[in-house]
Amino acid sequence: MAAFLLLESSPVMLAPWHAFSGCVPESGKPAFEAAHGVDVWGYASGDPEHSELINEAMACDARLVVPAILEDCPSLFDGFQTVVDVGGGNGTTLGMLVKAYPWLKGTNFDLPHVASVAPKIDNVEHVGGDFFVNIPKADAAFVMWSLHDWGDEECINILRKCKEAIPKDGGKVIIVEAVIDEVEEHEFKDVRYVLDMVMMAHTSAGKERTQEDWTNILRESGFSRHTIYPIRAIQAVIVAWP
């Protein structure tokens, strides 16, 4: 957890919390933009050290969450030969998946400044691009903790691009995100609400979502059906079919 704590306690990420009091009444800007003049992704693209801190924090999360995915959803990639990790950072998540499923070939897809410095990983190709424009083709698209960084319209756009990247027959999109349940008690319930505040501080329109929110977004994105699988982590696995 060291990398995640270093990221969240860095001066860059702490500054937006102090901008809350003025950003709404004075400028209407998101807190991060009010503090730094650009959004979190624009800032990271111009600061390699901060970008690396983000990627290391996401890798830290992967090392915690992927074992839960493998244990609780062991057949997730059965029948697939290729997978694209959308917003996959430095490839840590995809590296763990292709090691667990050795028949898989992976494409780690992220912004060019991230993909260009990602380390070499067996059976993984790093590709730079923009997931609002185009996503590399694969049998399955995997999206872990990226959609909560964006508002509903942006999520729908990303998911439509994911749907275009997979086969109409037999393909699927695998989403790993928190699902807030406002009624049921859960050991991570409070953490999920805290993460919702973090999204408010660090993104322009990001948020954690309820089951109803995910249903609406996936329907608007054109998916015919989906299933939510709880795992022993803050996140759940949401599988959606075209």
What is the chain written as a DSSP string? -HHHHHHHTSHHHHGGGGGHHHIIIII---HHHHHHSS-HHHHHHT-HHHHHHHHHHHHHHHHHHHHHHHHH-TTTTTT-SEEEEET-TTSHHHHHHHHHSTT-EEEEEE-HHHHTTPPPBTTEEEEE--TTT-----SEEEEES-GGGS-HHHHHHHHHHHHHHS-TTT-EEEEEEEEE-SSS--TTHHHHHHHHHHHHHHSSS---EEHHHHHHHHHHTT-SEEEEEE-SSSEEEEEEE-
- 204, 39 Cβ separation under 8 angstroms: yes
Q: Is 126 a catalytic residue?
A: no
From the candidates 33, 177, 202, 226, which is the catalytic residue? 177
Q: Is 56 a catalytic residue?
A: no
From the candidates 126, 148, 202, 226, which is the catalytic residue? 148
Q: Please, what is the angle between helix 48-72 and helix 92-100, to 10°? A: 30
Residue 223 CA to residue 242 CA, distance in Å, equals 5
Q: Is 8 a catalytic residue?
A: no
From the candidates 33, 50, 126, 208, which is the catalytic residue? 208
Active site positions, annotated: 148, 177, 208
